[in-house]
Amino acid sequence: MSSRQHKIKSIDLFAGCGGLMDGFEQSGKYKTLAAVEWEKGPCRNLRIRLKDKWKYKNSDKMVLQFDIQRTDELFEGWKDDEIYGESAGLDKLVNKSGGLDIIIGGPPCQAYSIAGRVRDENGMKDDYRNYLFESYLKVVDHYKPKLFIFENVPGILSARPGDRPIIEIIQESFNKAGYYVLPNLRNAIIDFTEYGVPQNRKRVIIIGFSKSYFGEAVCVEMAKKFYSEYLPRYKSEKKMTVAEAIGDLPKLFPLGRDEKIGGKRISHSLPSPYIANHIARWQNERDIRIFKLLTEDIESGRDEYTSIKALKTLYTERTGKTSNVHKYHVIRWDEPSNLIPAHLYKDGLRHIHPDSEQCRTLTVREAARLQTFDDDYIFDGSNVETYKMIGNAVPPKFAKKIAYAVADLLKDYGR
C-alpha cells in the first residue's frame, strides 16, 4: 500500500457514518483529512471506523461534529459549545496536510426527495435543508479543491422550493465559484444496481472540476468522459441479488414467546454463530403471522398478496387501519432489494425477510449488507440510530468505484 503522503487528499461533508468515505478508503488511493457531520451517533461510528479499520491515530480530531451552516467557525474552530464541545477547526487539519485535492459528500436528501415532498403539506418548500448545498459550496469555495463529488437523490432535479428549480441555482452557484458541472444532469443519474449494489437505488452524482486548475476546455472533456467512460468501466457484469448479499447469514426463528436479553425484549432466536448487528427486531404475534402468510404466498407461487390492492386490504383486515400506500413488501431472493431508506428504523414492514421460516423484518446487519457495508463495520448505537445511518449512507461498494474512476481520471490528465 502506498504511503499516505502520495495519496489524493479528501474531506467528507455531511459524512453520516461514512459510506462514501469508506469506499474511498477501500480504494487505497485516498487520504481522509477530515469528516464533518452534525449528528452524534454517526460521528461516534466514524471515529471508531477511522481508528480501528483505517488506522488513523487522530480520528477524534478528524471527525468534526458541528453544524456546517456555521461555516466560519467550522473553518476557524469553536470552543466550549454546549452541543458541539470544542475543536481547532477544519483549516488546521487541511493546512497541516498541505492542502486538499477533493471534497466529497452530499447534503441530506429529504428536502429533495419526491416522497418527502408528497408527505409534507407544503412540499418541503420551507425546509432549511433545501439550501444546505450553500454550506457545501462555501467549503468548496474556501479550499478550492481540484474537484468535488456531490451525491443526492434524483428528486433534486425536479425540486423547486422557490421561484426556480433548485438544480439551476446549484449549477449556477458552482459555476460562479469556478467549477464546471455537466449542463444536463439527467446524464448524472446512476443506477447503483449496475455497479454491484444489491438494492434498487438511483442517485445523482454531480462531479465538478476546477476551471482555474484544469482550464475550462479540459473540464468539459473530463466531465463528459467521467460519465461516458471512466465510471462505466467499473460496472458489474450482472446485478447482485438479495440471496447473494444476505443468504449466508444465520437464520433467526420466531421463539413463540417473548424473552429478554440484556434488558431488551426479543421475539426471535439469536444468531449462531454470532454475527454483530444481526439481531431481529422485536415483532408482535400479529405481524409474525402476517409475515408468514405473505412469504408462504410467494414461496408457494399462489401470489394472492402481490398486488397493491390485496396488500392494502390485508392491512385493513388485520390492523383495523387504512393506508394510502401499501405497508407490506417482501423482498425477493432472486433480485436486488427495494431501496434501503433511513426510515427503515420506524417499522421495517416494507422490508420483510423472504424466508417464511423466519417471519421478520431485516436486521441491521442485513440492511448494512444490502448497502454493501463490510461485516467488519460494527455499528454502535440503538436500532433507531443504526438503521437511520445505514439508510442515509452511500453504499461503500459504489463509492469505491467512483474513487477508482476519479483516480484514473486524475492520473490520465496528469494531475
Question: Could you tell me if 254 and 268 are in contact, meaning their C-beta atoms sit under 8 angstroms apart?
Answer: yes
Residue 165 makes CB contacts below 8 A (sequence gap 6+) with: 157, 158, 159
| Backbone φ and ψ of 353, nearest 5° | -60, 140
Cell numbers given for 14: 455531511
Other Cβ atoms closer than 10 A to 337:
27
What is the Cα–Cα distance from 375 to 397, expressed in whole angstroms?
13
Helices (H) and strands (E) in the chain, counts: 16, 12
Q: Which residues are catalytic?
A: 109
What is the Cα–Cα distance from 139 to 71, expressed in whole angstroms?
8
Question: Could you tell me if 358 and 299 are in contact, meaning their C-beta atoms sit under 8 angstroms apart?
Answer: no
Give CA 207 to chain center in angstroms: 17
- The gap between the terminal CA atoms of the chain, to the nearest Å, is 20
